[in-house]
Structure 1
Amino acid sequence: MSTAEEIIKSVGGADNVVSLSHCATRLRFQLVDASGIDVEQVESIKGVMGAVPQAGDRFQIIMGGAVQNAYNEINALPEMQGRREPTDAELKAAAKAGGVRGKFAWIDSFFEFLSDSFRPILGALLGASLFITFMSLMSTLGVIGNWADPRTELEPSWQFVNLLWKSVFVFLPLMVAYNASKKLNADPWVGFAIMALVMLPGFTDLGASETAYTATIAGSDVTLIDIFGVPLTIFSYDSQVFPPLLMAGLLGPLYKLLKKLIPDNLQLIFVPFLAMLIMLPLTAFLIGPIGVFIGAWVAGGLGAINAINPLIFAIIIPLAYPFMVPLGLHWPLNAVMLLNIQQLGYDYIQGPMGAWNFACFGATAGVLVLAWRDRDVQMRQTATGALAAGLLGGISEPSLYGIHLRFKKIYPRMLVGCLVGGLTIGIGGALTEQVTTQAFVFTSLLTIPAFNNMPIYGLAVGLAFITSMAMVVVFDYRTPEQKAAAKRRGDADAPPEPETRVIVVGDVETNQAKQWVGALGGEDNIVAVEPIAETRVRVEVKDTSMVDADALRRAGLAGVIEVSPGVWHLVAGLEADKYAEGMRRRLAAATT
């Protein structure tokens, strides 16, 4: 059975899938019913680096760099082609569940909008960052001059090489506009076309007209020209991301409104036409300039903090990033980095950010060392893939979602590495020069040459990596029970050992356990009972034909599934450990 087939089987089959999408490292399932999924079984599939159950019957499977291939292979399966279409009720339930993920749902939706506007272009950004690193390396070796200085005249051959990364970053607003519009269910090509207006050479040339004039707005000198008596602000929108995000934020609701007002048989023509008629001038005259000024305001605020105390700034950034990335809060900072490069010619955030990234990768390396020691094949596979994605690609999500967020003891150890790396960058920058970069890059081993104060930056990320790795190896990252489970996985011949815990069982659990034992065929038919995955009870029986699944459901279980011959999982909820203990006590009493 292929990996794709195993994944679909593990999530309840093709008919249980409402929708499937993916981000940079994860498959994102919206399911009809996620209650019966065995997380441990999913994580045991070859190529799977971890699984993340979520609210609202959503389920994510971490694949790392292989996510695109896994996504394509799953969609190519015959059962996915002929699967049952979800009912209207299931689709509505999925939409409702997918939209509410926290106390403030609009905040979740906002950061998901930001993330999905950038995630599809991560590959292009990563590729461009490696071209930038190559140019930086050539400049460091003296092969070419300062490639990032527009006053430097490069030979035509090197000018062409320099254009390889510009093809991504100059037109980044168009890519963001496409993704953001698509996320909000507007025609993405309409969003692309609207943003393309302000990037046309003819638009920029308006600023060179004899009738153009200069004015001071928000403390900055800008070029204006009157269009039918209305002042139009002329900016260079290269690499800008705030304007397309704002544009898409208005285009999405406008598209929805137009579809309500215009009859179905006229929508193909008049919805995009009217959307463009409204949004093209609105973006050029209002939304675009507002986006530019918002970006400048955010960048100016961070720049002021950095100017007051670069040492404190270098410490705050790596300590904040471990909490920002899981929430999607890092995307606005990425936009500020691009703006810094455009306006200042350099960025000062990516250096401290590199300290966090390498501390993250160091913690993963520590997990890998312990997995080798304990012969934990599953964790070894997960950590190896996550470490490769980090050190070579600068991508932290496989480490975060595959390992770090699953073990609460990792974060304190990793933060020590973040602190050491941030201190090194701050102190080293104060003694020599601040660590900056003239281009947007992913902080990996391959992009170290892109930083101007390379010795200090290399020392900082190295210390961050080694410190986090040592903290994890020396102090471990698991509870005693998790360590014992890892050692049992490493020794296939070792019998499973019950977890030693003191569990208080009340009358409710005792009575419920009595009903479940009866529906499972009685005390004599049950071989073993143990709680697993926080919400389920694993029961091994002698004779499966004696199990009455319907009776179990009537007795209050949310789900009942036979995961293998003679092995049943009972979805009991957050009190699963108490129910399991109640069943074990009943079995023990029957044998005395």
Structure 2
Amino acid sequence: MSTAEEIVEAVGGPDNIVSLTHCATRLRFQLADASGIDTPKVESIKGVMGAVPQAGERYQIIMGGAVQNTYQAINELPEMQGRRELTDAELKAAARAGGVRGKFAWIDSFFEFLSDSFRPILGALLGASLFITFMSLMSTLGVIGNWADPRTELPPSWQFVNLLWQSVFVFLPLMVAYNASKKVGADPWVGFAIMALVMLPGFTGLGASEAAYTASVAGSEVTLIDIFGVPLTIFSYNSQVFPPLLMAGLLGPLYKLLKKIIPDNLQLIFVPFLAMLIMLPLTAFLIGPIGVFIGAWVAGGLGAINALNPLIFAIIIPLAYPFMVPLGLHWPLNAVMLLNIQNLGYDYIQGPMGAWNFACFGATAGVLFLAWRDRDVQMRQTATGALAAGLLGGISEPSLYGIHLRFKKIYPRMLVGCLVGGLILGIGGWLTTPVHTQAFVFTSLLTIPAFTNMPLYALAIGAAFFTSMILVIIFDYRTPEQKAAAKLTGDADVPVEAEPRVIVVGDVETNQARQWVAALGGESNILAVEPVAETRIRVEVRDTDAVDAEALRRAGLAGAVQVAPGVWHLVAGLEADQYAEGMRRRLAAVNA
């Protein structure tokens, strides 16, 4: 059975899948019913780095760099082509469930909107960041002048190379407008067209006409021109992301309203027309300028903090990012970085962000070391993919969702690495020159040349990486039960649960004994039971084929493995003695 087939089966089959999308590293399922999914079983599938159950019948499976191929393979399965269409009642129920996201649902929806507006273009951004790094490296080596300074005259050949990354960042507002409009349920091409208005050469050309004039707006000098007596603000919207986000935020409700009041047979023509009729001038005159000023205000606030105390800023950013990224709070900061580069010519956030990223990757490297030492196949596979995505692509999600958020002991070790990297950047920047970058890049090994004061930056991220890695190796990241399970299973492909379930209701030993005895083939199949090595129970059985190892894990065991013909070890944790006694009493009661 292929990986795609195993995943579809594990999530309840094709008929249980309402929709399937993907981001840079994860398959994102909307299911009709997610209650029956066995997450440990999903995580044991070859190629799967981890699984993240979510509210509202949503389920995410972490695939790392293989996500695109897996997504295509799932959609190409014959059973996905001929799956049953969900009834209206099921679709409505799934939609209602998808909206149930806790006490502050609008906050979750807002950050999901931000994430989905950027995630589909991560590949393009990553590719462009490597072109930027190449230009930075050539400038550092003296092959070309300062490529980021518009006053520098580059040879025509290098001018062309410099255009390669601009194709992404100049037109970034159009990409964001498309994704954001799609996320809110509007026609994404309508959103694209609305944002394209303010990026037309003719639009910016209005600012050069004789009728244009300057005025002070919100403390800034801007260019204005009267259009039918109404002042129109002329900005360069290149690389801006707040305006398209605001535009889409209004376009979505407008689209839904128009679909309600316009008959079905007229919607194809009049919904997009009326939406454009309203949103085109509204974006040019109001939404666009507001978005520019919001971005400038946020960037100015962070700039003021950095100017007040760069050392504190360099520490706060890497310590905050481990908590911001899982919640999607880092996306607005990415927009601020782009604004800094556009307005200041450089950005001061990406350096401290690099300290967080490499502390994260260092923790993953520590996990990989322990997985190799303990011959933990599942974790070795997960950590290898996550580390490659991090060091080469600067993407932290595979590490976070696949490992760090599953093992709560990792975060304290990782935060120490963040602190060390931030301190080095802050103190080093105060003693020498601060670390800046003149372009938006993903903080990976490949983009180190894009940063000024490269030796200081390399020292900081190296210290963050090795601090986290060494702390994880020395102090481990697992509970004693998880560690014992990893050593016991060895090269056997037996998944280790991140948090073994502990039953605390009623008579614990009796309840667990009943479940485990049944999974071992019943009382008549068990010859002997005894605790061993503090955390394990040794069980001798008559017929190994009657043992259901999967049922044992579902019943709360961290691991179950056959160590010899007719002999099984159950990883029961520090209460192995009590559980073994419970099983013996169960056998004695039945045999009596």
- Give TM-score scaled by structure 1 length: 0.88
- Measured after TM superposition, the shift of residue 88 of structure 1 is 2.2
Q: CA RMSD in A?
A: 3.3
Alignment pair present for 1:423 and 2:415: no
- Shift in CA distance, 120/492, structure 1 to aligned 2, threshold 3 Å: closer
Rounded Cα–Cα distance in structure 2 between residues aligned with 1:374 and 1:508: 30
- In the alignment, is the contact (CA less than 8 A) between 2:519 and 2:548 conserved in 1? no
Partner of 1:206: 206
Which digits, 9 at most, give the CA deviation of each residue in 1:23-42, with x for residues without a partner? Answer: 11011112223233222222
Which digits, 9 at most, give the CA deviation of each residue in 1:468-501, with x for residues without a partner? Answer: 000100110000001011112215499x9xx999
> What amino acid maps onto 1:589 in structure 2?
A
Partner of 2:472: 472
Rounded Cα–Cα distance in structure 2 between residues aligned with 1:146 and 1:455: 19
Q: Unaligned stretches of 5+ in structure 2?
A: 530-539, 557-571
- Shift in CA distance, 570/488, structure 1 to aligned 2, threshold 3 Å: closer
> What amino acid maps onto 1:212 in structure 2?
A
- Measured after TM superposition, the shift of residue 97 of structure 1 is 1.9
Partner of 1:79: 79
- Shift in CA distance, 157/244, structure 1 to aligned 2, threshold 3 Å: same
- Measured after TM superposition, the shift of residue 467 of structure 1 is 0.4
Alignment pair present for 1:379 and 2:379: yes
- In the alignment, is the contact (CA less than 8 A) between 2:358 and 2:464 conserved in 1? yes
Partner of 1:163: 163
Partner of 2:321: 321
Q: How many residues align?
A: 561
Q: Report the 3-state secondary structure (helix = DSSP H, G, I; strand = E; otherwise coil) of the residue aligned with 2:401.
A: helix
Rounded Cα–Cα distance in structure 2 between residues aligned with 1:57 and 1:528: 43
- In the alignment, is the contact (CA less than 8 A) between 1:35 and 1:571 conserved in 2? no
Partner of 2:442: 442
> What amino acid maps onto 1:67 in structure 2?
V
Rounded Cα–Cα distance in structure 1 between residues aligned with 2:412 and 2:305: 26
Rounded Cα–Cα distance in structure 2 between residues aligned with 1:317 and 1:109: 24
Partner of 2:283: 283
- Shift in CA distance, 300/81, structure 1 to aligned 2, threshold 3 Å: same
- Shift in CA distance, 196/333, structure 1 to aligned 2, threshold 3 Å: same
Rounded Cα–Cα distance in structure 1 between residues aligned with 2:160 and 2:312: 40
- In the alignment, is the contact (CA less than 8 A) between 2:448 and 2:454 conserved in 1? yes
Partner of 2:335: 335
> What amino acid maps onto 2:125 in structure 1?
L
Rounded Cα–Cα distance in structure 1 between residues aligned with 2:550 and 2:163: 60
Q: Report the 3-state secondary structure (helix = DSSP H, G, I; strand = E; otherwise coil) of the residue aligned with 2:405.
A: helix
Q: Unaligned stretches of 5+ in structure 1?
A: 530-539, 547-563
Which digits, 9 at most, give the CA deviation of each residue in 1:52-107, with x for residues without a partner? Answer: 22233322111001101100000000010011112223222221222222220100
Rounded Cα–Cα distance in structure 2 between residues aligned with 1:304 and 1:210: 37
Which digits, 9 at most, give the CA deviation of each residue in 1:227-267, with x for residues without a partner? Answer: 00000000000000000000000000000000000000000
Partner of 2:248: 248
Partner of 2:537: none
Partner of 2:180: 180
Partner of 1:15: 15
Rounded Cα–Cα distance in structure 1 between residues aligned with 2:217 and 2:108: 33
| Seq. identity, % | 86
Alignment pair present for 1:402 and 2:402: yes
Aligned counterparts, 1:558-569, within 5 A: 568=551
Rounded Cα–Cα distance in structure 2 between residues aligned with 1:343 and 1:117: 23
Alignment pair present for 1:196 and 2:173: no
- In the alignment, is the contact (CA less than 8 A) between 2:132 and 2:450 conserved in 1? yes
Rounded Cα–Cα distance in structure 1 between residues aligned with 2:192 and 2:478: 48
> What amino acid maps onto 2:337 in structure 1?
M
- In the alignment, is the contact (CA less than 8 A) between 1:36 and 1:571 conserved in 2? no
Which digits, 9 at most, give the CA deviation of each residue in 1:429-488, with x for residues without a partner? Answer: 001111000000000000000001101001000000010000100110000001011112
Which digits, 9 at most, give the CA deviation of each residue in 1:343-394, with x for residues without a partner? Answer: 0000000000000000000000000000010011111111000000000000
Rounded Cα–Cα distance in structure 2 between residues aligned with 1:588 and 1:119: 59
Aligned counterparts, 1:210-221, within 5 A: 210-221=210-221
- In the alignment, is the contact (CA less than 8 A) between 1:64 and 1:385 conserved in 2? yes
Which digits, 9 at most, give the CA deviation of each residue in 1:156-202, with x for residues without a partner? Answer: 10000000000000000000000000000100000000000000000
Aligned counterparts, 1:38-53, within 5 A: 38-53=38-53
Rounded Cα–Cα distance in structure 1 between residues aligned with 2:412 and 2:304: 29
Partner of 1:533: none
- Give TM-score scaled by structure 2 length: 0.88
Which digits, 9 at most, give the CA deviation of each residue in 1:192-231, with x for residues without a partner? Answer: 0000000000000111111111110111000000000000
Rounded Cα–Cα distance in structure 1 between residues aligned with 2:317 and 2:549: 52
